[in-house]
Amino acid sequence: MSSQPIDEDGFHSIAWDDAPPRNTIVSPSSPFDEEGDGFETISHSHSQSSTTHDEGVASTSTGTVTGMERRERQGSVQADPNEWNGKWMSIEVREPIKEHEGSKDMYVSYAVKTQTNLTTFPKSMAIVRRRFQDFVFLRDHLVKNFPACVVPPIPDKHRLEYIKGDRFGPEFIERRRLDLQRFTERIARHPTLQRSQLVNDFLQSSEWTVAKHHHISHPPPESHTSIMDSLSDTFINAFSKVRKPDGRFVEMAEELERFEEGLTSVERLVGRGKQRVDDLSTDYQDMAAAYQGLGYLESGITEPLNRFAEKMLDFSALLKHMNAQTVEPFLIQSNSLLAYTNSHRNVIKLRDQKQLDFEELSAYLSAIVSERDRLAALNSGHSAAPVGLGTYLRDQVDKFRGTDDIHTRRERIRKMDGKIKELQDAVTTAHETSTAFSDEVLKEHTVFDLSKKEEMKEILQTYADGQVEMLQRAMDDWDKIIPLLQRIRVDV
């Protein structure tokens, strides 16, 4: 890694490889920097978008109402110019189409509509078509290009919970579209990723295949790991632990763990509630059938009882509708947020590995310096410092072979001097990399925390709105049937 300060020309092998210069730190109180090049806060990812689906691309979302659609219906799409400094970005994934239908090469493409006034984008509005593999390519290369960024996860190509028959069926395609929508929303909210050249090409390039080959042939610069690869006589592996944990990242990891535990518990409770509502819906169907049978026996009140049974069936259908349109989306979105959290945890683990590399290199350098000083002391006729068992056994073998003489030790000292110089450079580079990576992860945590709060607000609001809507409709229906039931007179 270059020793160049991290804020001068972008991040090298850390976060930015193709983004414009940025000298400001993410701050919740300042959505954009003075140049207006990127997001500096996370709020309303679709802060301004067209309320009409123009350019010949019509929305085909017939399933769950997304947060974006809900905000559009509520008329809150327009952003406050004072809050956003006039900058905004909106990405929509919609209109899935089956390409080469009927052939073995059939796949589904999605219309990706981008609207923004960010200066890094050549066009303020663009519509392109991308298939699922293109989203996978985007995500994989963002992870490689921006290792210190929390890159949003993307659903696996063959996730088992999707498979309910034909993977080209409407339910599968719609659920995947919603997952891709969440993925692009998180990209749009990220102050680094949304300004990368790769994202720019993905959202606007009409020659996406050419752009992909360009990104493949121009990979980001690799960090300097050759010295680590050459260390065959030191113990460095994935099971090593950081000797001096940084309290900031320990607290960060614990915070994420608490959030995951809390959200998992909520998921579990909502899932159990969903099952109970399904059972209750079935019970109402059975009760409706029983009241219909009773209506045939009581000829004088057949019509009121049949009307009551119909309302029971309506209420049963309303419960199922609530589960399908409110509870299931809640579970899917919360599961997606858990996967996003796991991506953040992986970045923290990678930061720990950077620190571990620095610590292991420093320890190895210290051992080499100590051995060189010991050999120099022996050549000078002084008693050497106490050594470990391994060094002692090696010295005894050298004496037995007759190679423990002053000339041999001088040659070993000469070689050690060269290795010490190489290790000193590697330690300096590892320290700079670890420090820069740590600084970037701290910024990423701020971005993630703001995004998490925004998503949780949207998830809970959608869930609460769905529950209120169901209860309101149920109250309206039962209020209409109660007067009819009160007029029933039964002669005893």
Segment 82-106, tens digit of pLDDT: 444 567 788 999 999 888 877 888 8
> What is the fold, at CATH topology level, of the domain defined by 268-486?
Substrate Binding Domain Of Dnak; Chain:A; Domain 2 (1.20.1270)
Q: How far is CA 377 from CA 149, 398, 404, 413, 417, in A?
A: 49, 17, 14, 11, 15
Segment 397-442, tens digit of pLDDT: 555 555 556 677 777 778 888 888 888 898 999 899 999 999 999 9
* Contact assessment for residue 419 and residue 233, using Cβ atoms and an 8 Å cutoff: no
**Domain range summary for the chain, segments of one domain joined by +:** 268-486
Say how many C-beta atoms besides its own lie within 10 A of residue 425's C-beta: 13
Region 374-396: mean pLDDT is 60
Segment 333-366, tens digit of pLDDT: 999 999 999 999 999 999 999 988 888 888 888 8
Encoding tokens for residue 188? 């749009």
The yes-or-no verdict on residue 4 having pLDDT over 60 is no
Contacts 24+ apart (CB under 8 A), 481-488: 481/307, 481/308, 481/311, 484/304, 484/307, 484/308, 485/304, 485/308, 487/304, 488/301, 488/304
- Average pLDDT, rounded, for the chain: 76
Say how many Å lie between the first and final Cα of the chain, rounded. Answer: 93
The whole model's pTM is what? Answer: 0.73
pLDDT at position 166, please? 66
Encoding tokens for residue 186? 């998180």
**Side-chain-facing half-sphere of 109: CA atoms under 13 Å:** 13
The yes-or-no verdict on residue 257 having pLDDT over 60 is yes
